[in-house]
Amino acid sequence: MSKIKTVTVQYRHGKWECSITQEVECKTAKQVLETITGFDINSKQTVVGSNGFVADNPKFLRQAIEKLNQLQRQLARRTKGSNRWQKTKQRINKLHGKISRQRLDFAHKTSRQITNENDILVFEDLNV
């Protein structure tokens, strides 16, 4: 049985997003913990694990930088406030939203893979 607490609806980067918070009762049996893995946050890779797990940083902004530069040059040539300027601005905003969603998707998939494979996780505390 679950109970919905809050619902937030937003329009961001040309897409509608909905965030739902709910309260869920969990009645699962306790499991025996077996694997302990330490993780380090690295500049070249996103996460490096003591068990040999390595998640390379996909660098989504570098993949989209050519298209982003083209759109920003177009925007600079437009008359500020015109309809074409507004449309180009929306296209730039949409591309930034796509990059943001790609990063969130990568972070979610990586964290989910790490939590599924390990019982206890230890992360290094860094002041970056």
**Contact call for residues 85 and 75 (beta carbons, < 8 A):** yes
Distance of CA 60 to the CA centre of its chain: 11
CA dist., res. 30 & res. 39, Å (int): 24
Tokens describing residue 6? 């809050």
Convert the pLDDT of each residue in 18-70 to its tens digit: 999 999 887 776 677 778 888 888 777 888 888 888 888 899 999 999 999 99
Pairing of strands 45-49, 54-56: antiparallel
Tokens describing residue 77? 């040539």
**What is the pLDDT, as a whole number, of residue 29?**
67
Going from N- to C-terminal start, the domains of the chain cover 2-123
Convert the pLDDT of each residue in 65-111 to its tens digit: 999 999 999 999 999 999 999 999 999 999 999 999 999 999 999 99
For residue 99, the SS3 value is helix
